[in-house]
Amino acid sequence: MDELTSLTLAQARTGLAKKDFTAVELADAHLAAMERARALNAYVLETPERASAMAKAADARIAKGTAGPLEGIPLAIKDLFATENVRTTACSKILGDFSPAYESSVTENLWRDGAVLLGKTNNDEFAMGSSNETSAFGPVISPWRRKGSNTPLVPGGSSGGSAAAVAANLALGATGTDTGGSIRQPASFTGIVGIKPTYGRCSRWGTVAFASSLDQAGPFARTVRDTAILMRSMAGYDEKDATSVDTPVPDYEAAVGKSIKGMRIGIPKQYRIDGMPAEIETLWQQGGAWLKAAGAELVEVSLPHTKYALPAYYIVAPAEASSNLARYDGVRYGLRVPGQDVNGMYEKTRAEGFGPEVRRRIMIGTYVLSAGYYDAYYLRAQQVRTLIKKDFEDCFNAGVDAMLTPATPSAAFGIGEKGKADPVEMYLNDVFTVTVNMAGLPGIAVPAGVDGQGLPLGLQLIGRPFDEEALFSLAHVIEKAAGTFHPKSWW
């Protein structure tokens, strides 16, 4: 049944509508592929019974002629999204066997449109990481390998399980969340497409909170079109999230294939950083040439505060995390470790329940918010954030429609290779993606080539607020020129 799992989402949609196969057959093919691919550790929970029931219901709606836009499409859901009565852990020990009594708004939207839940995917604990190595369920193994090597590679993170599942044909699409690059970096490492929408475009309600002013949900898929299809279902105003924006959701798919003639594309000179592999520089230029050939105009732009985005992020994100994660206290849900008194119970529960990266970030956040340090760290970081956003606004006001940058400073690395001695080494992975979260802008990662070792590399397009459509049009031009990239199965 490999033919069914290698379809694009759009092809599967057509096949279901034409009754070439049923939603049940499509779900079963994916469940069988998931079983064979357990070595990747992409899923932390498979939900075959739920998938079968949802697929059956989808087939019934297709037969009745009441199919939704995603009817019968099997998807993987990052374990950060609360799924009603389906274990949700954020891949942390502290949530234990937490079973939500509610459904996140984003997943609710997907089920409303007929999608089918295959299972919950692995991620860095509370989405804190860039390699999926901080998960309480162990790392995800990328479906990609270097040419002639068996070294296990990371899929990127934090949404590593979702990215690996999509790249390895274990789902037609997946959800992710992106706080500093957690959709775009793994998409780039695994050769697929991923978009972080404008802040406020997707509801955050029912998504485990990491850094509330930066977190956004977004889709992964193997093509730009498929990503646009998912995006339309996920986005939308939600009265349960006060930061969700009440503007109509466009038909993103209609933007795929649209001409980019006359669009002005900014090439930010500050993204040319020391130590970046020559292959990435070449790919970046190639991407620009493809856009130019399709009628876009390239202009060099300056984003002078770029280098401060990552340090500012490592104040803002931990500060918000230390506040958000205060709720894990062993009282209402999840793990409880007894102590001598109530404080002892809190301290032991949190020491045992949180992994080292999460503990470290909570402590950094606690420190930068503590009396006497707030102004020097947190307030200053929020001021720098204003400057970072202004850099982008200045360019957009000068007539730039979108920017083209590399997605990551390197291809995927090996498990255990980075961040052992110095946590900052791992943080540098997000140097090109984090600015976008700090400014609340939309950003898409699209595969554009492979490096000398055969590993995929991606480019990033950054857009004006709420102009995801331009990103889909531009990314599609790159996709048409570069082709798509698929790992050879070894699992």
Partner 1 sequence: MSVDAATVRRIAHLARIAVAEDEVEHLRGEINAILAFVEQLSEVDVAGVEPMTSVTPMRMRRRPDVVNAGGDPDAVLRNAPAREANFFVVPKVIE
Per-residue string for binding with partner 1, 452-481, x by CB under 8 A? -------------x----------------
Alpha carbons 163 and 169: distance in angstroms, whole number: 10
How many C-beta neighbours within 10 Å does residue 239 have? 10
Question: Rounded to an integer, what is the distance from CA 334 to the centroid of its chain?
Answer: 25
Tell me which of 78, 120, 196, 418 is the catalytic residue. Answer: 78
Residue 364 makes contact with partner 1 by CB under 8 A? yes
**Binding of residue 397 to partner 1 (CB under 8 A):** no
Q: Does residue 259 interact with partner 1 by CB under 8 A?
A: no
Residue 361 amino acid letter: R
Q: How far is the CB of 365 from partner 1 (least distance, A)?
A: 8
DSSP letter string over 428-473?
A: GGGTTTHHHHHHT--EEEEEEEE-TTS-EEEEEEEESTT-HHHHHH
Report how many residues bind partner 1 under the rule CB under 8 A: 70
Q: What is the C-alpha radius of gyration for the chain, rounded to an integer number of angstroms?
A: 21
**Is 105 among the residues known to form the active site?**
no
Indicate which single residue of 205, 346, 396, 432 sits in contact with partner 1 (rule: CB under 8 A). 346
Q: Is 261 a catalytic residue?
A: no
CA-to-CA distance for 361 and 359, rounded, in angstroms? Answer: 6
Separation between Cα atoms, residue 159 and residue 409, nearest integer Å: 18
DSSP 489: P
Q: Between residues 222 and 464, which has the closer beta carbon with respect to partner 1?
A: 464
Query: Is there binding between residue 213 and partner 1 (CB under 8 A)?
Result: yes
Q: How far apart are CA 479 and CA 148, in angstroms?
A: 27
Q: Which of 14, 151, 285, 386 binds partner 1 (CB under 8 A)?
A: 386
Our answer to whether residue 78 is catalytic in this structure is: yes
**Contacting partner 1 (CB under 8 A), which of 58, 75, 231, 439?**
439
Tell me how far, at minimum, the Cβ of 273 lies from partner 1, in Å: 14
350 contributes a contact to partner 1 by CB under 8 A: yes
Stretch that binds partner 1, among 6-14, 18-26, 153-161, 433-441 (CB under 8 A): 433-441
The residue from 130, 158, 233, 473 that is catalytic is 158
Contact flag: residue 312 with partner 1 (CB under 8 A): yes
Residues 136, 88: Cα–Cα separation, whole Å? 13
User: Which amino acid would we find at residue 34?
Assistant: M
In the stretch 60-99, what mask flags binding to partner 1 with x, by CB under 8 A?
Answer: --------------------------------------xx
* 3-state SS class at 128: coil
Burial class of residue 198 (count of CB atoms within 10 Å of its CB; 0-12, 13-18, 19+): buried
d(CA 77, CA 85) in angstroms, rounded, equals 14
Among 64, 261, 332, 420, binds partner 1 (CB under 8 A): 332
Any contact of residue 11 with partner 1 (CB under 8 A)? no
Residues annotated as catalytic (active site), given as ranges: 78, 158, 182
